Amino acid sequence: MVLRVRGLTHVALLVRDLERSVLFYQRLFGSEISHRDENSVELRTPGQHDALSLEQSDSDDVGASGGVLHFGFRLLEPMSFNDLARLVVEAGGTVEEKGEYVLGEPYVFGRDPDGYRFEVFFEP
């Protein structure tokens, strides 16, 4: 028997500055706040069933991957990797790598303001 699930539903990150992180994900992905309390915010991608949970912390673990290489966001429509990179930087992140896996399938690997590595890519 296997578990039947809807897929990966959320990623939870420790962050140093909760508002800075919320703004980054709102600017880059249009994320919407679905829950907020004093020390945490849960963001959702519009029209999707995922969640990104952000929790304020002064821990040395903020930005540490703990063996996780990155988490990814799959685009609904293709765009140039240069435009993707520009949007990451404008939102407050940094770009580590950009290109195309194959013609028409752009990707960008970047880091959010706390240093978490993420990928944005298009795949038909």
| Across 25-36, average pLDDT | 96
Task: Catalogue the E-assigned strands of the chain.
Answer: 10-15, 32-36, 40-44, 51-56, 71-74, 94-100, 106-111, 117-121
Number of domains, the chain: 1
Q: Residue 54 — pLDDT band, cuts 50, 70, 90?
A: very high
| Across 11-23, average pLDDT | 97
Give the range of the structural domain holding residue 28, as residue numbers without chain letter. 10-121
Whether 1 maps to a domain, the answer reads no
Whether 2 maps to a domain, the answer reads no
pLDDT tens-digit profile of 92-107? 999 999 999 999 999 9
Give the domain CATH number at 111.
Answer: 3.10.180.10
Q: Is the pTM value of this prediction over 0.85? A: yes
